């Protein structure tokens, strides 16, 4: 990562921690799941309103490290308004990217700004922090009450 990329990455993470997007409880939601990452202590809840196969609304609550909160905040922005199939596709791309199997610079993707997590596979202990909310999102879609990264 060049130093300017590292700086941008840190700025975006700090900004989302200061002002997490779509943070709070979603009353009367259709789907929800709880996610826990025992390695780091990240603990979040994902709430969805799914209607006509579209993620009409998505919010989250909980507490976690900066990477977890930024990834969750950015995920809610990326998935709101997407169909379930589109959302699962973006999940697959994000998941491959954090494992180092998709490289946004050369592989096609629809990750947008989420591509800034592309080097996290070099820090295995942080991969679960970045991926927790995504696994919890899929858990909510599948009506699983809780998801653990262990």
Which of the residues 127 through 146 are near Zn ion (CB under 5 A)?
A: 129
Q: According to the binding rule CB under 5 A, does residue 98 interact with Zn ion?
A: no
Distance in Å, CB of 126 to Zn ion, minimum:
7
Chain centre to alpha carbon of residue 115: 12
Shortest distance, position 131 Cβ to Zn ion, whole Å: 10
CB burial readout 53-69, b (16+ within 10 A) else e: eebebbbbbbebbebbb
Q: Candidates 16-24, 44-52, 66-74, 75-83 — which segment interacts with Zn ion by CB under 5 A?
A: 66-74
- Bridge-based pairing state of the strands 31-37 and 42-51: antiparallel
Interface residue with Zn ion among 13, 26, 68, 87 (CB under 5 A) is 68
Examine residue 65 and tell whether it contacts Zn ion (CB under 5 A).
Answer: yes
Is residue 59 within 8 Å of 23, Cβ to Cβ?
Answer: yes
Stretch that binds Zn ion, among 6-14, 63-71, 99-107, 137-145 (CB under 5 A): 63-71
Site for Zn ion in 20-49 (CB under 5 A): 40, 42
Q: What DSSP character marks residue 77?
A: H
Question: Residue 64 Cβ, how far from Zn ion at the closest point, in Å?
Answer: 5
Using DSSP's 3-state secondary structure scheme, residue 80 falls into: coil
Does position 116 bind Zn ion by CB under 5 A? no
Residue 113 DSSP symbol: G
- Helix count and strand count (H, E) for the chain: 4, 4
Q: Which residues bind Zn ion (CB under 5 A)?
A: 40, 42, 65, 68, 129
């Amino acid at each position: 990562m060049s130093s300017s990329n590292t700086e941008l990455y840190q700025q975006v993470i700090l900004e989302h921690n200061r002002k997490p997007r779509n943070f709070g409880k979603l009353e009367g939601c259709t789907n929800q799941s709880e996610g826990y990452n025992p390695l780091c202590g990240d603990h979040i809840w994902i709430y969805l309103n799914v209607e006509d196969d579209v993620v009409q609304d998505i919010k989250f609550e909980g507490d976690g490290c900066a990477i977890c909160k930024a990834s969750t905040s950015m995920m809610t922005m990326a998935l709101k308004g997407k169909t379930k199939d589109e959302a699962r596709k973006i999940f697959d791309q994000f998941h491959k990217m954090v494992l180092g199997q998709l490289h946004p610079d050369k592989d096609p993707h629809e990750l947008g700004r989420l591509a800034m997590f592309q080097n996290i596979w070099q820090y295995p202990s942080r991969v679960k922090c970045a991926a927790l909310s995504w696994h919890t999102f899929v858990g909510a879609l599948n009506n699983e009450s809780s998801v653990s990264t262990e």
